[in-house]
A and B are shown apart, each in its own frame.
Chain A
Amino acid sequence: MNNSLSLSRHDALDRGGKAQPLLRVRGLQKHFTITRGGMGRQAKRVHAVDGVDFDVYKGETLGIVGESGCGKSTTARLLMHLLAADHGEMVFDGDPIGQRGGISVRGMRRQVQMVFQNSYASLNPRMSVEDSIAFGPQVHGVNRRESRQRARRLLDQVGLSSRLFAHRYPHELSGGQRQRVNIARALALEPRLLILDEAVSALDKSVEAQVLNLLMDLKQEYGLTYLFISHDLNVVRYISDRVMVMYLGKVAEMGEVEALYRAPAHPYTRALLSAMPSMNPDQRTQQAPLVGDPPNPIDLPPGCRFCPRCPMVEDACRDAEPALEACGTAHQVACRRADEVMAGAVPVKRISEESPT
């Protein structure tokens, strides 16, 4: 991606240069206790995020995919410090977050913003669109007039005429329009990293395309970095530079998007890709790649956590949890049999799904 358009503010803020990751996450972990122990009961813990490492490079879009319970949304909330992590280190452009000698959480939140899935719930129903957008800058000391002006400018920028929309309330807008407002709100603090948590998932397909286009344009214009969380593999493939596949709180596979989609190295990634409905009437899916549901991240099996559903499981998989290892340039996978998977041991349906014309 070409980011020559980045704003001067970003150049001023950019400290480590292009090579230093914008965000570095190591050993991120969050367990939720659902039943306390004691009185003869075993404590039940949800392993929502269970030791996750990744980097987000400047100017890229990192996609995170996975099914419900894989921990992708928890990861987003941990990054925003909306939830407190049990363990883990987060470094923003060289500065550890919330530590001595690093950057404060409040300081980080000026540079990292988030767009939520539910466009209605993420806007205060009693605030006009303009006030919602202006709230962030006001919190950070921008005066009322200037923050309103910024709000109006942003509204125009996300494609909603400020003349018509500034004084509207959320319930007077359509889903797509609300999500545009949410994007404007997130941009009001001029962040460098935008976390998009299923931001287009609730939109109709024709509106989704509009918002995706908008996101691409804004990225160019402001030199933004995106963390794009979604369950929709098509959308992630379209918008991301790199993809991280999560399963039950762990990273299963991570790599450049085209390489990963063309030759997935983890049996789970492979299954996810084959589970996508076909768009070719002559090549309908004949067999489901996996049986059963994604399990709860409560009682994890020993060894690799994909074992119970894996079509290629062998005894050794149950003994030890595989580590995330390189399996190509900028491609990492946590599977003992990755080589076989990449070589096509399990047939995968072709994902190129152009309709027969």
Chain B
Amino acid sequence: MSLTLDGAQADAPVPAPVQGYWGAVFGRLRRDPVALVSGIVLLMILLAALFAPWLAPASPFQTSMLNRLQPIGSPGYPLGSDELGRDVLSRLIHGARLSLLIGVMPVINAFVIGSAIGIVAGFVGGRTNSVIMRVIDVFYAFPAVLLAVALAGALGAGLVNSLLSLTIVFIPPIARVAESVTTQVRSVDYIEAARASGARSLTIIRRHVLGNVLGPIFVYATSLISVSMILASGLSFLGLGARPPMPEWGLMLNTMRDAIYVNPWVAVLPGMMIFTVSICFNMLSDGLRSAMDVKL
């Protein structure tokens, strides 16, 4: 039987070279200038945080009563000094470690927990879905800032507790996104086809649902990192997160706020760092979203 006759010719125009899905995504991301710049900036800040002990010109804890509130460009203090005479550049570099950690960790935790809740709710559907989502909605009804402050306050001040409260804050929005994406995917024909081939629910979730929903949820979660950074800094600012003398951007902003009249440029530096990192994460997540749009 010459079944291949038509088909062999049907292949005639050979389209784009074989390239995996993620290969295509990164290819497109690389060509997006905004996402590329954001990514490079974040990478540099991350590297600075990792190699802080080697990069920082001075110790972040070394105080000097004689050299308090030096302006930018003073000898020995390239970015000035704070109210206790510590080198601001060194504190910013060391602070990146803690600030990134408390910005990113809650989102990662919430991504894992929220996705699991949302995907199960979305895939099972029906009444189970309604019950889960209504509980989630109760948390969602509070403004994020209020919820974070209330939880952190109730749990008590401290780094771990502020991480925990931020995680709880971010679970509901991620679960909602996960649920809605899963509900959409669940009704697409390829899931039906998988069911029609006799696959069980867990197999379908593992092989067909996860790959298609984690991407969009991940993009959404990246956009939350900026919010998380700001909230975490806010908690530190209020004294609910990192404790002095730990270098952390939000805390630095707090302790230097009196210096704003003396040395405004130095005082706003931690704020600018928070702003830059937030913006970069947002831009990167925007770029990722358009790069992940498979349709050409």
Contact of A139 among B15, B192, B199 (CB under 8 A): B199
Contact of A159 among B10, B189, B194, B294 (CB under 8 A): B10
Chain B, range 181-206, C-beta contacts under 8 Å to A: 188-190, 192-200, 203
Which of B193, B195, B296 neighbours the largest number of chain A CB atoms within 10 Å of its CB?
Answer: B193
Chain A, range 85-114, C-beta contacts under 8 Å to B: 106, 109-110, 113-114
* A78 part of interface (Cβ distance < 8 Å): no
Bound together, the chains give a CA A220 to CA B2 distance in angstroms of 12
Bound together, the chains give a CA A164 to CA B193 distance in angstroms of 24
* B146 part of interface (Cβ distance < 8 Å): no
Neighbouring B residues of A169 by C-beta, 8 Å: 20-21
Neighbouring A residues of B10 by C-beta, 8 Å: 159-160, 176-177, 180, 207, 210
* A306 part of interface (Cβ distance < 8 Å): no
A-contacting 9-mer, from B87-95, B96-104, B160-168, B207-215? B207-215
Contact of B8 among A128, A136, A159, A177 (CB under 8 A): A159
Assess whether A214 is in contact with B198, with CB atoms less than 8 Å apart. no
Assess whether B199 is in contact with A121, with CB atoms less than 8 Å apart. no
Given A168-B18, A221-B1; A113-B196 close (CB under 8 Å): yes
* B295 part of interface (Cβ distance < 8 Å): yes
* B135 part of interface (Cβ distance < 8 Å): no
Assess whether B189 is in contact with A118, with CB atoms less than 8 Å apart. yes
Neighbouring B residues of A124 by C-beta, 8 Å: 190, 194, 207-208, 211-212
Chain A, range 33-74, C-beta contacts under 8 Å to B: none
Contact of A217 among B1, B8, B200, B203 (CB under 8 A): B1
Given A139-B197, A214-B3; A161-B8 close (CB under 8 Å): yes
- In the complex, the chain A residue whose C-beta lies closest to that of B23 is A169
Neighbouring B residues of A221 by C-beta, 8 Å: 1, 3
Bound together, the chains give a CA A128 to CA B208 distance in angstroms of 12
Q: Annotate A163-177 by CB proximity to B: 1 below 8 A, 0 otherwise.
A: 011011101111011
Q: Annotate B197-235 by CB proximity to A: 1 below 8 A, 0 otherwise.
A: 111100100011001100000000000000000000000
Q: Annotate A140-176 by CB proximity to B: 1 below 8 A, 0 otherwise.
A: 1000000000000000111111001101110111101
Assess whether A165 is in contact with B11, with CB atoms less than 8 Å apart. yes
* A263 part of interface (Cβ distance < 8 Å): no
* A125 part of interface (Cβ distance < 8 Å): yes
Neighbouring A residues of B190 by C-beta, 8 Å: 121-124, 132
Contact of B3 among A116, A122, A167, A217 (CB under 8 A): A217
Assess whether B189 is in contact with A116, with CB atoms less than 8 Å apart. yes
The interface size of chain B toward A, counting residues with CB under 8 Å, comes to 36
CB distance from A143 to the nearest CB of B (A): 15
* B62 part of interface (Cβ distance < 8 Å): no
* B143 part of interface (Cβ distance < 8 Å): no
Bound together, the chains give a CA A210 to CA B4 distance in angstroms of 11
Assess whether A220 is in contact with B196, with CB atoms less than 8 Å apart. no
Assess whether B11 is in contact with A109, with CB atoms less than 8 Å apart. no
Bound together, the chains give a CA A80 to CA B194 distance in angstroms of 11
Assess whether A164 is in contact with B11, with CB atoms less than 8 Å apart. yes
Neighbouring A residues of B207 by C-beta, 8 Å: 124, 127, 135
Neighbouring B residues of A109 by C-beta, 8 Å: 196-198
Neighbouring A residues of B195 by C-beta, 8 Å: 82
* A185 part of interface (Cβ distance < 8 Å): yes
* A126 part of interface (Cβ distance < 8 Å): yes
Contact of B11 among A122, A128, A161, A220 (CB under 8 A): A161
Assess whether A125 is in contact with B212, with CB atoms less than 8 Å apart. yes
* B7 part of interface (Cβ distance < 8 Å): yes
Bound together, the chains give a CA A121 to CA B295 distance in angstroms of 12
* A213 part of interface (Cβ distance < 8 Å): yes
Neighbouring B residues of A156 by C-beta, 8 Å: 4
Counting chain A residues whose Cβ lies within 8 A of the other chain, the interface size class is 35 or more
Report the number of A-B residue pairs with Cβ-Cβ less than 8 Å: 118
Assess whether A159 is in contact with B193, with CB atoms less than 8 Å apart. no
Contact of A135 among B7, B16, B199 (CB under 8 A): B199
Contact of A82 among B6, B192, B203 (CB under 8 A): B192
CB distance from B24 to the nearest CB of A (A): 8
Contact of A213 among B6, B21, B193 (CB under 8 A): B6
Bound together, the chains give a CA A188 to CA B295 distance in angstroms of 27
Neighbouring A residues of B154 by C-beta, 8 Å: none
Neighbouring A residues of B20 by C-beta, 8 Å: 128, 169
CB distance from A101 to the nearest CB of B (A): 20
* A189 part of interface (Cβ distance < 8 Å): yes
* B14 part of interface (Cβ distance < 8 Å): yes
Bound together, the chains give a CA A157 to CA B7 distance in angstroms of 9
- In the complex, the chain B residue whose C-beta lies closest to that of A209 is B6
Bound together, the chains give a CA A262 to CA B164 distance in angstroms of 75
* A327 part of interface (Cβ distance < 8 Å): no
Assess whether B196 is in contact with A160, with CB atoms less than 8 Å apart. no
CB distance from B211 to the nearest CB of A (A): 4
A-B pairs, 4 with minimum CB distance: A159-B7, A136-B197, A122-B189, A126-B211
Q: A125-B294, A160-B10, A161-B7 are in contact. List 14 more A-B contacts (CB 8 A).
A: A106-B198, A116-B189, A122-B192, A124-B208, A124-B211, A126-B212, A135-B194, A135-B197, A139-B199, A157-B4, A158-B7, A159-B11, A177-B10, A221-B3
| Residues of A near any B CB (own CB < 8 A) | 77, 80, 82, 106, 109-110, 113-114, 116, 118, 121-128, 132, 135-136, 139-140, 156-161, 164-165, 167-169, 171-174, 176-177, 180, 182, 185, 188-189, 207, 210, 213-214, 217-218, 220-221
27 contacts between A and B (CB under 8 A): A77-B192, A106-B198, A109-B196, A114-B196, A116-B189, A116-B193, A122-B190, A122-B192, A123-B190, A124-B194, A124-B208, A125-B21, A139-B200, A157-B3, A158-B3, A159-B3, A159-B5, A159-B8, A159-B10, A161-B8, A168-B18, A171-B295, A173-B15, A174-B15, A180-B10, A210-B7, A213-B6
| Residues of B near any A CB (own CB < 8 A) | 1, 3-8, 10-11, 14-16, 18-21, 188-190, 192-200, 203, 207-208, 211-212, 294-296
